[in-house]
Amino acid sequence: MSNPLLSNFLTPFEAAPFSKIKTKHFIPAFKHNIRVALEEIDVIVQNNKTPTFKNTLEALENCGMLIGRNSAILFNLNSAETTDAIQKVSQEAAPLFSDFQNDIRLNKALFKRIKFVYKKEDRNHLNQEQLTLLEKEYKSFVRNGALLDKTSKEKLRIIDTELAQLSLRFGEHILADTQAFNLHVKKKGDLVGLPKSIIEMAYQMAEQKGLKGWVFTLDYPSYVPFMTYLENRELRKKMALAFGKRGFQENAQNNTEVILNIIKLRQQRARLLGYESHAAFVLEERMAKSEKKVKFFLDNISEKAHPAAKKEWMDMEVFAANKLGITSLKKWDTSFVAEKLKQAKFNLNEQELKPYFPLKKVLSGLFEIVERLYSLSFHETTETDPYHDEVIIYEVKKEGLFYALLYTDFFPRTGKRNGAWMTSYRSQKKDQRPHVSIVCNFSRPTKTKPSLLTFQEVTTLFHEFGHALHGILANTNYSGLSGTSVYWDFVELPSQIMENWCYEPEALALFAKHYETNETIPQKLIEKIKKAAYFQQGLQTIRQLSFSYLDLSFHDKNAHLINDVKLHEKSQIAPLQFIKDTPENCMSTSFSHIFQGGYAAGYYSYKWAEVLDADAFDLFLEKGIFDTQTASSFVENILSKGGTEHPMTLYKRFRGKEPDPEALLRRAGLI
């Protein structure tokens, strides 16, 4: 059979020809790709010449390029456009990749060559990027079992295979539970409070399902406004409980055993490698360095944020009792009451803002902001093949020349997981430009309105675009050090700093334009947005901290003692919660960041990077938000450099000093 995954793509930009790639192509291609890569590695090992950086490290860096490309295609499709067949193939592929990685990392002869270069080569002949790659590869081998005996290496193989499959299963369970639930509303009187656009969207969903009335789902564009605006408390309760039960029901998708297996296997793996815990293993390669330092960081913020959060909660309780007749706040009330309080406090209704944020204009304005800052231009192209007909692809140019491909995928659909993320189909390296993608779940256009974003969705788009810029502007020699291949507690800096432009009048003027009149958002609304930015920062901060503490607790030295996921979660989150626990719900069973994504023992990274971004954006505020010299420095020292140097070295080169932790607290209005 003709299998496009067996060779380089002969397409414009060498982009993936999605319409020609069939599910049946993946496994045969992976087996062939792996066989070829292992043969390439054997050539390195059999080389009789003295090991050098070039004939060992550089040669290894260039092995298995088709495996990386093809696995990126499969696993990205599994997140954004999955089917039962793709899920099955992903489960079949996971152990193949795990075995392949172990075949490399546990290759005694290969490690011997790398160790020789690491210990013996004259480092004066290597540049900084080469030194970093050498250090990274040597550590990677050691951290993946190269120093273990044969029996321990076999144990590691088994653990890695099981972990890869469990992670996939975790995500499949959440997706299945999310898609299994629909709330069918038959009476129009039950929709009081909902914006017209959300009602129209629910009506169209019902039509698609052949039902009369309105259908709401657990996808964010449906769920979030439902919980924020619907007056009917019982229906809010029904929806909230369904959302909180994902992965925590008496069905085949229950994730509690999956979690227990994951945390125990992670701990076994860490101890096999000589670490006290998975957290210790992970944090060794982070800016934070240790669990102790992370806890100190979290405790410090918690100490500042908790008094503010307590006051904000009391304000909510008083307001709910006096104005809304709700005397005991439940989880299905918090978004609703917070929105009502915000409206009363700032005279700001999120729905008042939405007409000023049509997706197309926001995206166009974002492109203009990026062009002003970084001299990039975006041109929609039909030369390349999208994986779904809703995906729009842009050719990114710099100084008139091709610089990257950008895939954009904005709306929820069956087979697409919730949330928003940036990913890559092809990494950047010398003589190769990247193909990156941003995937979101925004409100769809209706028959009468374009896609109108909430302000939170606007900041989400800017956030993911910041990640994309980290990939697009990458300019390194080795893909292993390129773009987002950085410490996890540094990777959120480029994304979170982009959110700041959403609050600046000079930037808003470029994209916040009414979808009907093209009127620029009035200054009075901008002032409300800026004031509202501080609204309930204490509660929001405490919420993020509770997730960070929970994450660490699943990966510390006592993780093996956890035998009840729900009870453990309750014990960890309770000190930072003002609301009573909901017994039939569990947050951990859908905590994809740590059980499906790469944030295990690293969820604190969001707050850590917020300190970096607040401090870094202070320089833009000082020099001007479109100051090209500051932007050029940010590209030169942060966005283009990837993981070629230690992140603190890069940051200080940009900022001239270490980040000031107080910058975040000042911005949040907590000090």
For the annotated catalytic residues, the residue numbers are 464
| The two structure tokens encoding residue 573 | 């989150």
652-658 contact pairs (CB < 8 A, 24+):
654/616, 654/619, 655/615, 655/616, 655/619
Rounded CA gap, 61 and 157, in Å?
A: 22
Supply 484's token pair: 């987002």
Structure tokens at 422: 């940036």
Cα–Cα nearest to 178, from 230, 233, 255, 235: 255
Tokens 């990077």 identify what position?
A: 609
Which amino acid would we find at residue 521?
Answer: I
Say which DSSP state 421 is in.
E
What does the alpha-carbon distance between residue 192 and residue 115 come to, in Å, rounded to a whole number?
68
460 vs 439: CA distance, rounded Å: 10
Looking up tokens 């982070």 gives 286
Q: Which residue do the tokens 């060779």 mark?
A: 7
251 Cβ partners below 8 Å, 6+ apart? Answer: 177
DSSP annotation of 248:
-
CA distances from 577 to 66, 309, 335, 545, 594 (A): 47, 10, 15, 11, 21
Alpha helices in 181-232 (DSSP H): 196-208, 220-229
* Angle at alpha carbon of residue 625, lines to 621 and 630, rounded to 5°: 85
Q: Where are the alpha helices (DSSP H) in 375-474?
A: 455-472
Q: Of 37, 147, 155, 17, nearest to 101 (Cα)?
A: 37
CA distances to 197, 279, 357 from 453, rounded to whole Å, are 11, 37, 5
Residue with tokens 């539970």: 177
Number of other residues whose CB lies within 10 A of the CB of residue 222: 23
Pairing state between β 376-381 and 401-409: unpaired
Look at residue 386 and give its three-state secondary structure: coil
Cβ atoms of residues 437 and 407 within 8 Å: yes
DSSP state of 57: I
Q: Which of 417, 479, 441 is nearest to 644 (CA)?
A: 479
Host H or E run for residue 417: none
Non-local (6+) Cβ contacts of 541 within 8 A are 301, 305, 308, 309, 607, 668, 670
Distance, in Å, from the CA atom of 616 to the CA atom of 652, rounded to the nearest integer, reads 10
CA distance 155 to 577: 40
Torsion from C-alpha of 427, 625, 496, 630, nearest 10 degrees: 50
CB-based contacts of 412-415 (< 8 A; 24+ apart in sequence): 412/217, 412/219, 412/220, 412/221, 412/222, 412/441, 412/444, 413/388, 414/179, 415/80, 415/81, 415/82, 415/83
